[in-house]
Chains A and B, each alone.
Chain A
Amino acid sequence: MNYKFNLASEDDLIVVTTYIKIRGKSLYYPLSLVLDTGASHTVIDLNMILVAGYDKGLRLDKNVKVQTANKIIDADKFILDEIRVIDRVIKDFEITTYDFLAQDDVLNYDGVLGLDFFRDTQLTIDFKTSELNIHL
């Protein structure tokens, strides 16, 4: 299944609709994540994780550093029950998270979809047709 992206309307970025399972419910919460093949890990705004129903207390007992555009900041790890992009579904997916707003990252996107999500898949980005495909 292909995913159509639109560079022109998304700040020249590939923005991917990503669904995370809402904790304790059978609903999926949609997030707008920027596909970043230069990012080793998936990073999501802590505020969106909390709004999706996850509890701060579920943060893993790990503290990590994240290099953002102009600084290195402290971040946390979370395990999402389930994350889905197109047909690619991963259960118990570990993400890195920090409070974007506290770092003055006021964006229209909820985070970055990094390479860790695409391990063991074949990812193709067709700029001619504006299509993204994940071959499982």
Chain B
Amino acid sequence: MQLEMLTLHEIYALHPNEWVLLGDPDIQDAEVLSGAVLFHSPDKRAVLDFAQRVIGQYGMVKIVFAGEMQKVSRLGIFKVTEN
């Protein structure tokens, strides 16, 4: 079955604040431009587990978060999380 390639903008709109597994993504300079959604979940572990099961079926899989991550600042080995 041919999976539909979606742009990152479309993926963000369809699966807001979820971890999304993409199959054979189009990547330029490490930036994901588009990909076929293979799985999505708010639970990153579920997405990672699924990725490891299907990775052999694709040339490459990539996981993206469809939202804004909490801002994290690091000072040496100290980590400060801003709420």
The interface of chain A, by Cβ under 8 A from chain B, is 11-13, 17, 19, 22, 25, 27, 29-32, 34, 38, 47, 50-51, 53, 67-70, 101, 106-108
Contacts and interface: CB of A to CB of B under 8 A. Distances in A.
Contact of B71 (A11, A25, A70): A11
Contacts of B30: 17, 19, 30-32
Contacts of B61: 51
A71 to B, nearest CB: 11
30 contacts: A11-B71, A13-B73, A13-B74, A17-B29, A17-B30, A19-B30, A25-B59, A27-B59, A27-B60, A29-B60, A30-B30, A38-B76, A50-B51, A50-B52, A50-B55, A51-B48, A51-B51, A51-B52, A51-B55, A51-B61, A51-B62, A67-B77, A68-B77, A69-B77, A69-B78, A69-B79, A70-B79, A101-B45, A101-B48, A108-B69
Nearest to B19: A106
Contacts, number: 50
Contact of A107 (B27, B69, B76, B78): B69
Interface string B17-33: 00000000001011000
Interface residues of B, number: 24
Contacts of A32: 30
A32 B45 CA distance: 19
Contact of B55 (A38, A53, A68, A70): A53
